Amino acid sequence: MSRGDLLSIHPLELKFPFALRKQISCSLQLSNKTDNYVAFKVKTTNPKKYCVRPNAGVVLPRSTSDVIVTMQAQKEAPPDMNCRDKFLLQSVKVNDGITAKDITSELFNKEAGHVVEECKLKVVYLSPPQPPSPVHEGSEEGSSPRGLVSDNGHVNAAEFSTAAKAFNEQLEAQDLSPETRTRITKLTEEKKSALQQCNKIRHELELLKSEGNKSGGGVSFMFVIIIGLLGIFMGYMMKKS
């Protein structure tokens, strides 16, 4: 706050929460602590950018007056959100009974012998609030049982059961109909069974490959069948995902 002999001005910085293509306003409060009528006038280095209402007026003795400064909508933000615009508020003691329509530029002419107080005001742009951080992938909420399949294709049954239990608990916490919950639970059990069958087939396939390597023979007919069954179960598992 500026405490001059005539007016106290608050604030000394005009703070605008900057937003593109939107008019933004802030206010100044002028307090007259004297027993005299005080006239004021507001000037700016960028009059096309700002609208000041009122830009001139009279503050009565022992009273206050508000000034609204509106920044016109901007198409682009300044570099580093720095603003070089300035405001100058001039005040002068005037005769009792004077009104806003009686105020002229001559009242603030120092060369005419008038005692004029001046207060410089800065313009500050406030950065817009940052958006909330997105949910990171792999968090517990919304996780998928696909992540339980290891790099070599095997499924950890214990981890799958834990994930399925947590998933069912989430379903219970939601407002779902009994039919919907039963259907989802059934699909979860079917997927668990398919994953177990997939592991079993993989195990048998590894045994056949091991026996084939020992005998030195070619690929057996049973080996081809198991490959086909494995493909069917993998496709079934992916559809259920």
Beta bridge partners of 59: 38
Domain 7-126 has CATH 2.60.40.10: yes
- Helices 157-173 and 178-215: crossing angle in degrees, nearest 10, is 170
Between the alpha carbon of residue 34 and those of residues 7, 60, 206, the distances in Å are 8, 9, 98
**Rounded Cα–Cα distance for residues 63 and 41 (Å):** 17
Local confidence pLDDT in tens for the 241 residues of the chain: 667 789 999 999 999 999 999 999 999 999 999 999 999 999 999 999 999 999 999 999 999 999 999 999 999 988 888 999 999 999 999 999 999 999 999 999 999 899 999 999 999 999 877 667 665 554 444 444 444 555 555 555 566 567 666 666 665 555 566 777 677 778 778 777 777 777 777 777 777 777 766 665 555 666 667 777 777 766 666 665 5
Question: Domain extents for the chain?
Answer: 7-126, 179-211
